Amino acid sequence: MRAQTVSPAEGWRWLATGFAIFRRNPPILSLLVVIYWLTVIFLNVLPVIGAIAASLVIPGLSVGLMQAARNIERGQEVGIQTLYGGLRENTRTLLALGALYLAVTLGILGLSTIIDGGDLLRYMLASGRAERAVVEDADFALPALFVLVMLVPVLMAWWFAPVLAAWHRLPLGKALFFSFVACWMNWRAFLAYGAAMLLLAGLAPAVLVGLLALLLPGVAGFISSLLIVFMVLVMGPVVFASFYASYRDIFGISEIV
């Protein structure tokens, strides 16, 4: 297992590669992303156990989406079974990744209670508007910044871990270790990738909606609805495909889109 160091510019290209993969088969990739989100949402509807179940299956489902991107790039067959097929690859490790991620995230949220007395944690765990209204006036800026900073190394360890566990059969510890090292070696590329994501999936749509709302105030709600559809059906698949592009470039897979 050997990770490569890529240039910072590659971070920008990962989104372009994701779009190139998406446009080869937009309907199936969009469908798989919608099914992915519906699966997670459906599981989260169930009290307590649903959130746990969703956390357990997310690593396997993410592997399924990366497998779909790889199949599309290679011109191979892709179907709904591709999404759920990721759950069958090194299943025990994938479930452990989901469980550990949930535990670590809750642990970080728990540590944030030192700063705000537990307001952010209560807000995050609230199941309804009435419960959230109790703490919605609290100042979340400092605890949210603390959680964000603490989550950075966690995300580095988990970024490639599912696919390393599924495709390379690495055990839990090694998958997390190699993922963290690969991200650390390529922090400049990931910084550029984050900037590209912020620009294309965050700032650009917000500016576009704002301008259209000023020019056409009567259809602001309709424009917002169209944006949501665009984000789910286009940007969502592109982003998931870009995850695969980052894996492909850093771990030396040679396919070229």
pLDDT tens readout for residues 9-35? 999 999 999 999 999 999 999 999 999
In the chain, the amino acid numbered 68 is: A
Q: What is the pLDDT of residue 21?
A: 95
Q: Does the pLDDT value for residue 188 go beyond 70?
A: yes
pLDDT tens readout for residues 137-187? 556 778 888 889 999 999 999 999 999 999 999 999 999 999 999 999 999
Q: What percent of the chain clears pLDDT 90, i.e. is strictly above it?
A: 58
Q: What percent of the chain clears pLDDT 70, i.e. is strictly above it?
A: 85
Q: What is the pLDDT of residue 96?
A: 96
Cβ–Cβ under 8 Å, residues 108 and 154: yes
CA 144 centroid distance within chain: 18
Q: Which of 19-28, 107-116, 230-239 has the highest mean pLDDT?
A: 19-28
Nearest to 97 by CA among 180, 175, 33: 175
Task: List Cβ<8 Å contacts ≥24 apart for 91-96.
Answer: 91/60, 93/165, 93/170, 93/171, 93/172, 93/175, 94/59, 94/60, 94/63, 94/162, 94/165, 94/166, 95/56, 95/57, 95/59, 95/60, 96/172
Q: Does the pLDDT value for residue 212 go beyond 90?
A: no
| Average per-residue pLDDT for the chain | 85
